[in-house]
Chains A and B, each alone.
Chain A
Amino acid sequence: QTVVTQEPSFSVSPGGTVTLTCGLSSGSVSTRHYPSWYQQTPGQAPRTLIYSTDSRSSGVPDRFSGSILGNKAALTITGAQADDESDYYCVLYLGSGSVVFGGGTKLTVL
């Protein structure tokens, strides 16, 4: 079974930069996995941030960026703000229309 790994938690100072990663239990993440990233605050539906590795969804500020770093997908937040404190999930495409979520990263801004 494919397992997508994310850091369980991360903290960043206001105005700082943080990079969250998304890996595979076996193998490397590539653009062929069409990595996407989602932000979720408690009690709310997820919000789409990044798709196809590095494309920002409509309305997403440019301080959110996606990339491949080494063998993982990455989400970088530049100039972190208090309201960036959320859970962040990556999703990887496995083929045949199937996707899998990572376990999520709880980001604290303090």
Chain B
Amino acid sequence: EVQLVQSGAEVKKPGESLRISCKGTGYSFTSYWISWVRQTPGKGLEWMGRIDPSDSYSPSFQGHVTISADKSISTAYLQWSSLQASDSATYYCARQTYNYYYLDVWGKGTTVTVSS
């Protein structure tokens, strides 16, 4: 079964660093891009950007986060060096095809809460 398994919920303070993960199973991890999608409470979905795990190419990623991938363990990461309260959201990773450009498999989401 194709799955994206995301890391668990996080509670952090402003200024702290954080890395959340997304592990792909049941498929060739380098054959699809991984996208990250953000959702703040009660709001809509926002595409943040994507990475090609085969070469870690990630064009024009939004905001002050860093995206990376380790193809040896089929895992993509979203990383903050200094969290802000406005980073509080649920973050979904999704597999993105590069023929029809849609998001075909979704992780369950990681909720990040940033509060002093």
B46: A residues at CB distance < 8 A: 101
Q: How many A-B residue pairs have CB under 8 A?
A: 72
Residue of A nearest to B45 (CB): A101
One digit per residue, 1 when the CB lies within 8 angstroms of any chain A CB and 0 when it does not, for chain B 40-52 equals 0000111101101
* B positions within 8 Å CB-CB of A: 33, 35, 37, 44-47, 49-50, 52, 59-60, 92, 94, 96-98, 100-109
Assess the B104–A48 pair: CB atoms within 8 A. yes
Given A48-B103, A97-B50, A101-B45, 8 additional A-B pairs, CB 8 A: A34-B100, A38-B103, A45-B106, A48-B105, A55-B100, A57-B104, A97-B33, A98-B59
Q: Which 8 A-B residue pairs are closest in the complex by CB-CB distance?
A: A36-B102, A51-B102, A93-B101, A104-B44, A52-B100, A45-B106, A101-B45, A34-B101
C-alpha spacing A93/B100, complex, angstroms: 9
Expressed in whole angstroms, the minimum distance between the Cβ of A34 and any Cβ of chain B is 5
A64 at the interface (CB under 8 A from B): no
